[in-house]
Amino acid sequence: MLCTQASCFFNAKKSVLLLSLLHHFNSSLAYSLKNCTIKYSLNPLADVFVDCGNCGLVTVPVDIPRDVTSATLLNNLLEKINREDFSNLSKLRFLDLHLNKISHVDNGAFIQLGALTSLYMSFNKLTNLTANLFQGLANLTMLDLTYNNIGFIHTSAFQFLTSLLTVILDNNQLQKITDIQPVLELPQILSIIDNRLSLSLSLSLVISSYKMEKFSITTPTFPHLETIDLSHFCRGPVLKWEIPDKSLLKNITRLYFGDVSIHFGDIRNVLQSLDSLRHLTLNNMERWINQGLLATVCKIPTLQRLDLSWSTIINVSAKLVTCSQLSELDLSMTQTIELSKDSIRSMKRLRKLNVEQNLLSKVPDDIRRLSFLETLILSDNYISELGCDDFINTTHLTELYLDSNNITKLDKCVFEHLNYLNVLDVSDNLLSTLGDTFKLGPKMLTFLDLSRNLLPVFEKGDFQGLGSLKYLNVSNNIVRLKDKAFDGLNNLESLRISLLSKWYYSFRELQGLKNLTIIFSGAAHSKHFKQSNLHDFEVCDGLKSLKVFTVIFSGNQCDFPFPALKQTIQSMTHLETFTAFNIYISALDRDTFQFNTQLKNLTIRHTNLSHLDPVLFLPIANLQVLDLSNSELKSLDFLAQAGLSALRCLILKDNHITVINETVFQSLPALTYLDLDNNPFTCDCFNAGFIRWVLNNKQTQAVNAYQYTCSFPVAHQGRKLLDFNYDACLMNISFLFFISSTCLVVGILLSSFTFHFLRWQFAYTFKLFQAFLYDKRNMKKKGAPHQFDAFVSYNVHDEAWVYREMLPVLEGEQGWRLCLHHRDFQPGKPIMENITDAIYDSRKTICVISRHYLQSEWCSREIQMASFRLFDEQKDVLILLFLEEIPTQQLSPYYRMRKTVKRRTYLSWPQAGQHRVFWQNVRRALETGDDSNLLIILI
């Protein structure tokens, strides 16, 4: 449900400086509200206006932002104002609560609203204005309580309203003069009290409703009272007037009567006593007018303005003959068919005459005599012809309204004498030709409206005489433009025109034009198009100073109406606002705006922009308002590369956007207003980030976001997007993210650490793993008896020592069966397998360790395999014989070995003075049983 229609208001005149200050002034105001809209204004100092009206609200929304200066809650279902409803709104100046069902207001509910100046609570159900109701409203000047059921006003109800100027209590249940005493005691009040008072009032101005029987003023309670307004109530019992002292009405200058029942004699008496009256309104009072009341009215010497509208007056002209003092006369909606001769001719001072919405078929004759007339409103009559004499003597006329008549043609003589004419409205007539009308003047004309006529063509020089014209509206004619049609319009700033599409048109002569609206109609274009050459569409070149350009196509869009549009736009280097409705068939060329660096406001609607190239926006980085509604957009991704860092207002209503990646808003740092109404959102985890952003960001208001509905998946159709439980998605996502990023970080740390400090160990571990694989293959052999006592692992460089020193002692003297790979390995078997078999077929593995051994890959594999068996079987299988001194750091690749070596005391071959002791130690090591946990190292 949409509560209010919202849109961006763009004020082109506000300076960029002000815009850049927005964050300082209104930093907390813009975020998405549940049922309200913050109206967008580009002026950061402007009022913050929150609209919560027409929304069916039963409570005051809690999310009204603190900076709000104006708030409307009109036409809701509020029944009660609670103490906390308006707390913290210390900047609020205007509050509209009218058309609710409020019957109770908590004491002190307005106590925080010290800045409030206007409070509108009409059309509610208040019955009792209690003592502390208005506490805190020290700055309130306007209080409207019309149409409640107020029957009681506490004597101190108004004591806090020290600035009050106007209180309106019309149509309540106040019965006695004491009821309104609290109001009457306020010093500066102009009060208009329209109630069921039936007592005769001795004090004041009290304007009655149907129950009031007497209107009486007997003492000068309101010395400054200027206005009595009796225009807002229905016919009731006849009102009795009692104003014995005429001088009490001396200061009344305005008197409004509307539909009041009053005795003719009474009203005549009143009018006779008003000798300072300047403005009299008698709406719907034809009974007295037709009885001759105007004779009295015309005798009020001070009367200047007389408004007789809505009264059907018989022969009004005759009745006004003596009203020569008037300067303003309103006869609109009086069913006047004609103003007879000599009726108003005596009104020599008349400056403004309004006869709109009558039945006049020609300009009244008497108007010629009104030589001081400045404003003449003849709108909405049946005038079909203008004669040369019609305005011959009204030479002071500055504004002439002839709109909504049946005028078929104009003649040059008609306006010939109107040298001061400023505004001329001839819209909505039947004009089919301009003729020479504007070839010579009126010279002072600045505003001309010729829209909604039947003008088919503008010829060269048609507006030649209008050198002062600033605003010209010729839209809603079916117009073709001839060359130089606008010659002479040297000061034209604003032009609105309807054109046949694909016809030749040029605006070259309008050098100063700032605002151009072209409305293309599709009619009759194709035939002409084929006949003419493309170079005829050189179009609006020369519009260098144009700031606002609007182009609209009202026909069938498949015919692109404006082939030269791109070149036209490119020539408008000062363009600030560009609006195109139903103009583009597909996405705009990427270089369309390359020369429009001043562009601030771009609206393209009713177009297929599904293939929009973000490069389009790069030259217009100052853009502040972008509206691409109804343009078949499927995603916001284009914004990520669009570079719109100044964009503040984005409207993408009525598109096909289903999923929004919230990271796109990082590329829109200035965005405060976002409207995505009527898009087919998908309510799943893909939108989780967007939903969270809408709810939590403190800068951008997503307008009506709480009303966005799900279109997908089908099971969720019709539900609210923001009701989608996104927590679950975010938990998974963030948890996964946490885990993966943690693993990544730890992994990187570990691997770099490992690489720097433990790279050898790392390599070793890898090899160990390889060994593990081989080990697994040999599991089956585990239980079998060993073929050898020891497998001797050595490097080929140490073979001499093995054969010369080791074999004679261990095999010869001590009788061990040794496995030597040169001697005992099976030919043809893969070497790795031979090593593995040798190790597992031997009780022990003797490693003859030298520098060469450590450098040999095969040897190291052997030691790994053996050491793996060592750990795997928890058996002492490894005997290390060190042939030479090796610094322990050189053992680093063999991490475990190094650790072992460091832990144990050992002897090495070179150190052993007596080799006999060395060999005895080896024998002891070979003799140890399988289950010993001792690792024997002999060196």
Chain residues in the site for ligand NAG (CB under 6 A): 1, 34-35, 55-57, 114-115, 128, 130, 139, 152, 220, 223-224, 247-248, 250-251, 361, 368-369, 382, 384, 389, 392-393, 406, 706
| Closer to ligand NAG by Cβ: residue 291 or 406 | 406
Q: Which is nearer to ligand NAG, 603 or 704 (CB)?
A: 704
Please identify, using beta-carbon distances, which residue of 201 and 609 lies nearer to ligand NAG.
201
Cβ atoms < 10 Å from Cβ of 79? 14
Q: Which is nearer to ligand NAG, 66 or 829 (CB)?
A: 66
Instruction: Give the CA radius of gyration of the chain.
Output: 49
Both tokens of residue 812?
Answer: 């010869």
Q: How far is the C-alpha of 849 from the C-alpha of 923, rounded, in Å? A: 18
CB of 657 to ligand NAG, least distance (A): 20
Q: For ligand NAG, which is the closer residue by CB, 19 or 397?
A: 397
The two beta strands, 447-449 and 104-105, are unpaired
Name 349's Cβ contacts closer than 8 Å, sequence gap at least 6.
324, 325, 326, 327, 372
Distance CA(907)–CA(638), nearest Å, equals 76
Helix axes 759-777, 831-841, angle to 10 degrees: 80
Q: How far is the CB of 305 from ligand NAG (least distance, A)?
A: 20
Place of tokens 């790795």: 832
Contact status, residue 802 vs residue 821, Cβ threshold 8 Å: no
Q: How far is the CB of 696 from ligand NAG (least distance, A)?
A: 16
Closest contact distance (angstroms) between CB of 538 and ligand NAG is 38
Nearest approach in angstroms of CB 113 to ligand NAG is 8
Q: Counting Cβ atoms within 10 Å, is residue 885 exposed (0-12), middle (13-18) or buried (19+)?
A: exposed
In angstroms, give the least distance from the CB of 635 to ligand NAG: 25
CB of residue 90 vs ligand NAG: minimum separation in angstroms?
Answer: 7
Instruction: Kindly tell me which of 95 and 497 has the beta carbon lying closer to ligand NAG.
Output: 95
Which CB, 153 or 497, lies closer to ligand NAG? 153
Helix or strand run (H / E) with residue 747? helix 727-757
Residue 674: which of 637, 701, 711, 639 has the closest Cα? 701
Beta bridge partners of 80: 104
Point out which residues pair with 849 in neighbouring strands.
882
Q: Who contacts 193 (Cβ-Cβ below 8 Å, separation ≥6)?
A: 168, 169, 170, 174, 180, 183, 205, 206, 207
Question: What is d(CA 247, CA 251) in angstroms, rounded to the nearest whole number?
Answer: 8
Cβ atoms of 636 and 611 within 8 Å: the answer is no
Q: Closest separation between CB of residue 21 and ligand NAG, Å?
A: 21
Question: Minimum CB separation from ligand NAG for residue 22, in Å?
Answer: 22
Rounded to a whole number of angstroms, the minimum distance from the CB of residue 76 to ligand NAG is: 8
SS3 of 818, please?
A: strand
> Helix/strand/coil (H, E, C) string of 385-451?
CCCCCCCCCCCCCCEEECCCCCCCCCCCCCCCCCCCCCEEECCCCCCCCCCCCCCCCCCCCCEEECC
Of 56 and 669, nearer to ligand NAG (C-beta) is: 56
Q: Which is nearer to ligand NAG, 352 or 369 (CB)?
A: 369
Which residues share a beta bridge with 625? 601, 649
Distance CA 896, CA 326 (A): 118
For ligand NAG, the nearest residue by Cβ is 114
Residue number, 130 or 218, with CB nearest to ligand NAG: 130
Q: Quick one: 392 or 809, whose CB is closer to ligand NAG? A: 392
Least distance between ligand NAG and beta carbon 383 (Å): 9
